[in-house]
Amino acid sequence: MFKRSVLGVSLCLLSQFSLANSVENHDPLVNGDVVDQEKYPAIIWIGNCTATVVGPRVILTAAHCNHGSDVSIQIHGSMYTVAMISSPHYERSFQYFSPSADLYTNSDLAVGFLDRPVDITPVSVGGEAKLGQKGLLFGYGCNDRWGQHRDGELRAGENQIAKATKNGMLMKGIKDGASGCPGDSGGPTLVESAHGELQLLGIHSQVGFADDNSRLNETWDARTDLPIARDFLKDIATLNHADICGVTINCSQR
């Protein structure tokens, strides 16, 4: 048996999906299904990772995507300056391990504050991690199983919560389910609310290989429903006089 190894920096999507017909299927690719970016304008590429617009001038991504300085990003053709702030509870780790073993203390969250509001309907932070719950994983990562290439396309795939702990949640278990590779870091796992809206429950942090090292098959997410995460999001938004949907303001369309 091969030991699972972890890529602690980035993620990409493998395989097919079907959460409440939220995503239109295209011809399946080796590492997932391409989705129409115009249907998911709040999920964006920030140059090294995926991120999600969660407020009028707020994006949410992974802390390990934060290079510690203000950066310029392009969102649907317009340039913005973003100030990134990581969770103070995040501890970066490069050790090899299996996400299944739950050996990683995870607060891999970073909030970015744009220099002006963006004309995009934000995704609300919400949901509660439950075993067996299905979610859609999104990302602008690679289009091959070893993470060597990316083509600028947004991909999505379905998997389920196989473990939910104080350290995060493991997305694994659906046959040929979605996992991640370089570029998907910071991307969201979206779950369906009781009203049929997609809410952001997880942020892609790390991935693991199958036992035979043949493919990526599990994704470890930072959970946004944990008190430590909710407190960070609320406090940092308030400090910066900004709103985060589902945390400081209700942005529900229902």
- 1-51 pLDDT, tens digit per residue, is 112 333 333 444 443 333 444 444 333 323 468 899 999 999 999 988 999
Query: From the centroid of its chain, how far is CA 220?
Result: 10
How many domains does the structure of the chain reveal?
1
In-domain check, residue 253: no
Section 110-120 average pLDDT: 96
In-domain check, residue 250: no
pTM for this model (two decimals): 0.84
Q: Which of 181 and 214 is assigned the larger pLDDT?
A: 181
For Cα atoms 58, 222, 243, give the angle at the middle one, nearest 5 degrees: 20
- pLDDT of 125-142, one tens digit each? 999 999 999 999 999 876
> Would you state the pLDDT for residue 89?
87
Q: Identify the domain containing residue 122 by its residue range.
A: 6-239
> Do 108 and 222 contact (CB within 8 A), yes or no?
yes
**Which residues 6+ apart lie within 8 Å of 121 measured at CB?**
41, 42, 251, 253
In-domain check, residue 254: no
In-domain check, residue 249: no
3-state class (DSSP) for residue 96: coil
CATH number, position 135: 2.40.10.120
In-domain check, residue 43: yes
In-domain check, residue 142: yes
Read off φ and ψ for residue 3, nearest 5 degrees: -75, 135
The CA distance from 130 to 138, in Å, is 19
Phi-psi region of 190 (alpha: psi -120 to 50; beta: other; left: phi over 0): beta
